[in-house]
Amino acid sequence: DGWRGIIAEDFTFDNVRACAQGVASYLKQTGLASRGLIVGYDTRFASEDFASAAAEVVAGNGIKVYLCPKATPTPVISYGILAKQAGGAIIITASHNPATWNGFKVKSEHGSSAPTDAITKIEKHISHTLTTGEINKVPLTQALKQGLVEYLDLAPIYSQQVAKLIDLKELRQARLKIV
What's the average pLDDT block by block, 10 residues per block, for the chain (179 residues)? Answer: 92 98 98 98 97 99 99 98 98 94 98 97 98 97 98 97 89 84
- 95 noted as active-site residue: yes
Q: What is the pLDDT of residue 169?
A: 86
**Helix, strand or coil for residue 18?**
helix
**Helix, strand or coil for residue 12?**
coil
Catalytic residue among 25, 47, 95, 112: 95
User: Are residues 149 and 65 in contact, defined by beta-carbon separation less than 8 angstroms?
Assistant: yes
Determine the straight-line distance between the first and last CA of the chain, rounded to whole angstroms: 31
Rg for the chain, CA atoms, rounded: 17
Helix intervals (H) in the chain: 13-30, 47-60, 74-84, 116-132, 140-146, 155-165, 168-174
pTM given for the model: 0.94
Positive or negative, the CA dihedral 103, 106, 110, 114 is negative
Q: Is domain 2-154 annotated with CATH 3.40.1280.10?
A: no
Closest CA to 26 of 159, 124, 103, 98: 124
Q: What is the pLDDT of residue 177?
A: 82
Q: Break the chain into its structural domains and give their ranges.
A: 2-154
